[in-house]
Chains A and B, each alone.
Chain A
Amino acid sequence: MDKTYIEQNNVIERYALDKLTGDELEQFELYLLDHPELLTDIALSEAIAEALPQDLLANPSAPTTSANHAGWRSFSLAASVLIVALSAVSLNLYQDNASLRDSADRSLSVAAIQSQIIIETTRSLDTNPITIDAAAGPTLLSIEVPDDFAGQELAIKISSVEGALNWRSGALQLNSRYRLETVFDGLPAGRYSLEFISAAESTRILDFLIDIR
């Protein structure tokens, strides 16, 4: 690892946000030991993340409620290097109306959405299961996936461990933002398995557990 790689890959910021893993983390740590001057840049990046106003975006499509990043949870898939961040939040989160209109389920209006689960891509590692708060009513499930999934149709399957729920979306197409979206009914407390399935081959690409409390 060298200065150019660090700059071009935003390594300092990603380290500050705890998003480095594996070899990249180790290589940066070794670099940091020999270049302690980076401690100041790391501290500055951490300060930005901590002190950044939550109402940074002040337009109608922007978030107006708290989206404390500490509440976001993540984990990875070794094969397709996905990371998941989940948050039960109100309808005013970052998700804009345009992307909701693009979602697979058009029968529910924006106002009907009570919560959402957001799944982001990254190359990180974390643990199962993920715990989120229960939310009544419809939930927007928004998944951002790497562009190497472009052109594929994926389905999402949610099932409770006790067998009380077995829900599967129709084939979902990635939109221009590399995002899959669908809406399902609120999940009562319990443990659930969330699976992503290739619609064409019915093969499971990723699965993980969620604890709804």
Chain B
Amino acid sequence: MDASLTNLPPQDLVSKIAARNAEAEQEFARRYLAPLTKILSKRCKSREQAEDAAQTALITVLQRLRGGKIDDPSKLTAFVHKTGINVLIGDQRKISRRETGTDTELVERTVDERIDQLEDIIREESDLAVREVVQEIKNDRDRELIYRFYIRQEEKFVICSALELTAVHFDRVISRARGRLRSLIETKRPELIGLF
């Protein structure tokens, strides 16, 4: 794929797809399928349903783009988002994936491997790595912060008030835990680097 397409602004991507540029279509699918699938999976709690809805939504948008039927190309992201949500809640059930077989293959082939790879790596490594992250937190108050935020799911201001912490300290502890987890996993599984 043309590397220059990767950072192409949405409005330019729209223009190229309208001109039937096949690589621009691939970039469109590559760019949006993974995050849209994630967004929809958080909303419906079903990975399979989210994948289907995301693919259907992107095919729908792609067809609109080919026909030059996007009113404001700069709002492509918002259009993708809205279409995804609509498909998920069933507003566009009439859309048949069977009628768009070629497009479906394009969308499925483009991104799913990256999503699966990301989730597989983190699933395989996270148990041990998270324990290692926790063991590295020596400050009892920081451990309680992590516990109250992730397990008890308390609000930030409640935790900061109860533990007499500043918001900056809170952010630093939370950020450091995630960063350390990433570092540990990337050391063992360097393929995670640059996956997204």
**20 A-B pairs in the complex with CB atoms less than 8 angstroms apart:** A17-B153, A19-B153, A33-B36, A33-B77, A38-B35, A38-B196, A39-B118, A44-B182, A44-B185, A51-B126, A52-B130, A52-B147, A52-B151, A53-B131, A57-B143, A59-B140, A62-B144, A94-B152, A144-B158, A177-B161
List, in ascending order, chain A residues with CB within 8 A of B39's CB: 29, 32-33
A43 close to B171 (CB less than 8 A): no
Instruction: Given A34-B77, A121-B158, answer yes or no on A39-B34 (Cβ-Cβ < 8 Å).
Output: yes
A32 close to B35 (CB less than 8 A): yes
A208 within 8 A of B: no
B107 within 8 A of A: no
Map CB proximity to B onto A137-149 as digits: 1 under 8 Å, 0 otherwise.
0000000101100
A30 within 8 A of B: yes
Cβ distance A142 to chain B, nearest Cβ, rounded Å: 11
Stretch at the interface among B16-24, B63-71, B97-105, B172-180: B172-180
B77 close to A30 (CB less than 8 A): yes
Report how far A76 CA is from B140 CA in the complex, Å: 31
List, in ascending order, chain A residues with CB within 8 A of B165's CB: none
Residues on B lying within 8 angstroms of A by beta carbon are 31-32, 34-36, 38-39, 42, 77-78, 80-81, 115, 118-119, 122-123, 126-127, 129-131, 133-134, 140, 143-144, 146-158, 161-162, 167, 170-171, 174-175, 177-178, 181-182, 185, 192, 195-196
List, in ascending order, chain B residues with CB within 8 A of A37's CB: 196
The 3 closest A-B pairs by CB, nearest first: A47-B126, A51-B130, A36-B35
CB < 8 Å: which of B126, B174, B185, B196 contacts A36? B196
A54 close to B151 (CB less than 8 A): yes
B130 close to A36 (CB less than 8 A): no
A147 close to B157 (CB less than 8 A): yes
* A36, A94, A122, A176 — most chain B CB neighbours (10 Å): A36
List, in ascending order, chain B residues with CB within 8 A of A41's CB: 178, 182
* A39, A49, A63, A146 — most chain B CB neighbours (10 Å): A39
Other A-B contacts than A39-B38, A56-B147, 15 sampled, CB-CB below 8 A, are A7-B171, A7-B175, A10-B171, A33-B35, A33-B80, A35-B35, A39-B34, A51-B126, A51-B127, A52-B150, A54-B151, A67-B151, A72-B153, A120-B158, A144-B158
Report how far A49 CA is from B177 CA in the complex, Å: 11
List, in ascending order, chain B residues with CB within 8 A of A49's CB: 150-151
A15 within 8 A of B: yes
A144 close to B34 (CB less than 8 A): no
Report how far A20 CA is from B158 CA in the complex, Å: 17
B178 close to A120 (CB less than 8 A): no
B154 close to A120 (CB less than 8 A): yes
Cβ distance B84 to chain A, nearest Cβ, rounded Å: 9
A114 within 8 A of B: no
Cβ distance A154 to chain B, nearest Cβ, rounded Å: 16
Cβ distance A26 to chain B, nearest Cβ, rounded Å: 8
CB < 8 Å: which of A33, A35, A146 contacts B81? A33
Q: Which residue of B lies closest to A145 (CB)?
A: B158
List, in ascending order, chain A residues with CB within 8 A of B195's CB: 40
Instruction: Given A40-B195, A40-B196, answer yes or no on A48-B42 (Cβ-Cβ < 8 Å).
Output: no
A18 within 8 A of B: yes
B118 close to A52 (CB less than 8 A): no
Report how far A7 CA is from B156 CA in the complex, Å: 13
Report how far A7 CA is from B167 CA in the complex, Å: 11
